[in-house]
Amino acid sequence: AQSVTQLDSQVPVFEEAPVELRCNYSSSVSVYLFWYVQYPNQGLQLLLKYLSGSTLVKGINGFEAEFNKSQTSFHLRKPSVHISDTAEYFCAVNDRGSTLGRLYFGRGTQLTVWP
């Protein structure tokens, strides 16, 4: 089974500042990696995904993430945040093996952007 660790439960930043949300996963086998965003009282929206190829992936709303296989990390970044980015962010892993289709989630990082 996979284990996903989001190192920060809360990240407060000021508007227009850069931000990085950290994610590490446990397995060294081939995986698919995802970041989802959840606004209050809503479901999950896919921000970006890594399936293969370039280790730097770009998503919606100006977010990007970098896959680092040696460090089993998939950190999410944005160079300049907006107040509307305030939300809960979840890192998720899909094992390409026998549990293909099942997502393992981290506990989430609450990003709060202050004016």
Partner 1 sequence: DAGVTQSPTHLIKTRGQQVTLRCSPKSGHDTVSWYQQALGQGPQFIFQYYEEEERQRGNFPDRFSGHQFPNYSSELNVNALLLGDSALYLCASSLYRGSYEQYFGPGTRLTVT
Q: Does 45 bind partner 1 (CB under 8 A)?
A: yes
Q: What x-and-dash track marks residues 20-39 binding partner 1 by CB under 8 A?
A: ------------x-x-x---
Q: Of 68, 77, 17, 25, whose CA–CA distance to 47 is shortest?
A: 77
Percentages of the chain per state (helix, strand, coil), in multiples of 5: 5, 55, 40
Residues 47-66 that bind partner 1 (CB under 8 A): 49, 51
**The dihedral formed by the CA atoms of 99, 40, 91 and 100, expressed in degrees to the nearest 10:** 10
**C-beta closer to partner 1: residue 19 or 104:** 104
Task: Label residue 66 exposed, middle or buried (CB < 10 Å: 0-12, 13-18, 19+).
Answer: middle
| The only residue of 24, 72, 73, 94 in contact with partner 1, by rule CB under 8 A | 94
Q: How many residues bind partner 1 (CB under 8 A)?
A: 26
- Give the interface with partner 1 as residue ranges (CB under 8 A): 4, 6, 32, 34, 36, 42-46, 49, 51, 90, 92, 94, 96, 99-108
